[in-house]
Amino acid sequence: MSVLGRLSLNQATVRPLSVADAAALCVRHEIPAIGLWREQVADAGLDAAAKTVRSAGLRVSSLCRGGFFTHADAGARRAAIADNKAAIAEASALGAGTLVLVSGGLVPGSRDIGLARRMIADAIGELVPVAHAHGVRLGIEALHPMFAADRCVITRLGEALDLALEFPADAAGVVVDTYHLWWDAALLADIARAGERIVSYQVCDWILPLPADTLLGRGHVGDGHIDFPPITAAVAAAGYTGDIEVEIFNETVWSAPPDETAARLRATFPGVF
C-alpha cells in the first residue's frame, strides 16, 4: 500500500466544511479516511453523517472529541460524564474505533494540578465500561504543556500512557500527536512503551512565531521544526498500522480553498515517513 493509503483528513483541518463536504473532498482527492468532529456530526445529524461517510467508502479514523472532565461542581462533572457517554455511542455509530479525549485543565478556582489529574482518572474509570461495551477505545491525548492550565493537565505521552495502563487495552489507549509531543526527550521511548496502546497518530508541524491564539499555530507537514520520520518510525515499530490523521488548526489553512488544502495534504504526507 502506498503511504497515501494511510492518510486521514482530520475535519479540524477544513473546519468550515460540513461532514458531507469534507467527505466529498476526501473522495475527490483519494483520501481514504476521515477524522470526524462532534460539532459537525451534530450539524449533519448522527445517522446522516454515518451514512455519508459509509456511502463515500471512507474509514473513520477517530471521533474528536470527548473529555473536559475537570469541574468544581459535581453536577458539571456528571454532565461531562453523560456527554462523554453520548460521544462514545456516537463514535460507535460512526464506525470510529477511537474517541479522542482532551481531558481538561485545572479545576476552575483551583491550582491543584493533582486534583485535576485524579478527577480525570476517575472520569475515565467511569467511561471505560461504556467504551468497552461499544467497542470504542478512549484515546487519551497529552496536550502541549502550554495548554496545561486551561485545556489538558496531561502533558506528556508517558503520563497519558500511565493513565491508560490503569485500564484494559481494548478500552483505553493513547493518542500520539506530533504537535503536542515533539519536544519531549522521552518521546521515542514512551512510544515504544505504549505499543498496542497507541490508538491514534495525528500529525502537523510546529511553526514559529506562535500566533496570538496559540490554539491556531499549527502548520502543514514540512513547514515547521518537527522531525517526523523518527517519530513515525517509532510509532510503526510500536505496532501501529492504522490511519494517520493530518490535523491542522490554523486560520490561514481554514481560509484556503479546501481542494488546495487536500492537495497539499497529499503532497506533504510522504514527509511524515
113 binds its own copies (CB under 8 A): yes
Closest distance of CB 102 from its own copies, Å: 15
C-alpha cell at position 227: 522531525
H-only helix segments in 156-225: 157-164, 178-181, 187-194
Looking at beta carbons only, is 83 or 159 nearer to its own copies? 159
From the list 32-40, 93-101, 178-186, 262-270, the region that binds its own copies by CB under 8 A is: 178-186
Q: What is the DSSP letter of 6?
A: G
Applying CB under 8 A, among 148, 165, 216, 236 the residue interacting with its own copies is: 148
Q: Rg (Cα) of the chain, in Å, rounded?
A: 17
- Tell me which of 150, 196, 259, 260 binds its own copies, using CB under 8 A: 150
Report the residue number, 19 or 187, with the smaller CB distance to its own copies: 187
- φ, ψ for residue 228 (rounded to 5)? -70, -45
Whether the upstream peptide bond of residue 209 has omega within 30° of 0, thus cis, is yes
> Considering the rule CB under 8 A, would residue 47 count as an interface residue with its own copies?
no
3-state secondary structure of 248: coil
C-alpha cell at 82: 453523560
Cell (9 digits) for 177:
500527536
Question: Is residue 252 a contact point for its own copies (CB under 8 A)?
Answer: no
Residue among 51, 83, 95, 145 that touches its own copies (CB under 8 A): 145
Interface segment toward its own copies; rule CB under 8 A; list 46-54, 61-69, 124-132, 176-184: 176-184
Return the residue of 29, 71, 156, 264 that touches its own copies, per CB under 8 A. Answer: 156
- Regarding 208 and contact with its own copies (CB under 8 A), the answer is yes
Print the SS3 string covering 27-76.
HHCCCCEEEEEHHHHHHHCHHHHHHHHHHCCCEEEEEEEEECCCCCCHHH
Q: Which lies closer to its own copies via its Cβ, residue 82 or residue 215?
A: 215
214 contacts its own copies (rule: CB under 8 A): yes
Say whether residue 203 binds its own copies (CB under 8 A): no
**93: part of which helix (H) or strand (E)?**
helix 74-94
Q: Which stretch binds its own copies (CB under 8 A): 64-72, 95-103, 130-138, 206-214?
A: 206-214
Helix (H) or strand (E) holding 22: helix 19-28
Question: Is 137 an interacting residue with respect to its own copies (CB under 8 A)?
Answer: no
CB atoms within 10 A of CB 116: 24
Nearer to its own copies, 227 or 257 (CB): 227
**Residue 150 near residue 141 (C-beta atoms within 8 A):** no
227 belongs to the binding site for its own copies (CB under 8 A): yes
Contact residues toward its own copies (CB under 8 A) are: 106, 111-113, 117, 144-146, 148-150, 153-156, 159, 182-185, 206, 208, 210-212, 214, 224-227
